[in-house]
Amino acid sequence: MSLSMYQASIPVFTHMLNNLSAILDKAAAHAEAKKIDPVVLINARLAPDMYPLSRQIQIATDVVKGCAARLAGIEVPSYEDNETTFPELRARIAKTVAFLQSVSAEQINGSEERTVTLTMHGKDIHFLGEPYLLYFVLPNFYFHTTTAYDILRHNGLEIGKMDFVGAHQ
């Protein structure tokens, strides 16, 4: 049995985003318990030239909503990128999960050969659907979700690998 484009995308994205949302719940509770201004964590970075936690989450959600829409041949939802609190970041994740769940397997499956065009740094980059998902979207998604986890872990949040990976289905 082969793995479908849908199976390799939507369930993976929603699972990891739900894990990320749970981690943000723990971060909010940690900030409250330790009397840390949540803005400190939301603006925390691993290095001065890296994006802060808030932007890592914005990019992670952008990558997957864009992927789902492009593979399904529908319009990519646009978000404002103005989240500054844990509730706003969790709401963004929830909105993204709801969008992902609105895209059916029928819309995604068969998109392996669909042409996907992204404009990056003023240049159009063309992909076929399968390499777009496997070699562009998934690595970017995991990079930004991992970086969000790492920022919070680095700042004292007591989380471990199972928080990131989540329960097996």
Write the DSSP assignment of 100-163 as a string of letters. HHHS-HHHHTTGGG-EEEEEETTEEEEEEHHHIIIIIIHHHHHHHHHHHHHHHHHTT----HHH
Domains of the chain: 10-157 (1.20.120.450)
Packing angle of the helix pair 86-102, 10-33 (nearest 10 deg): 170
The model's confidence at residue 1, banded by pLDDT at 50, 70 and 90, is: low
- At 169 the pLDDT is 59
Quickly count: other Cβ atoms within 10 Å of residue 23's Cβ.
20
Nearest to 95 by CA among 118, 68, 117: 68
Mean pLDDT of 14-41: 97
Model-wide pTM > 0.85: yes
Mean pLDDT of 88-96: 98
* Percent share of the chain, pLDDT over 90: 97
Q: Residue 153 above 90 pLDDT? A: yes
The model's confidence at residue 157, banded by pLDDT at 50, 70 and 90, is: very high
Q: Residue 15 above 80 pLDDT? A: yes
Q: Residue 168 above 90 pLDDT? A: no
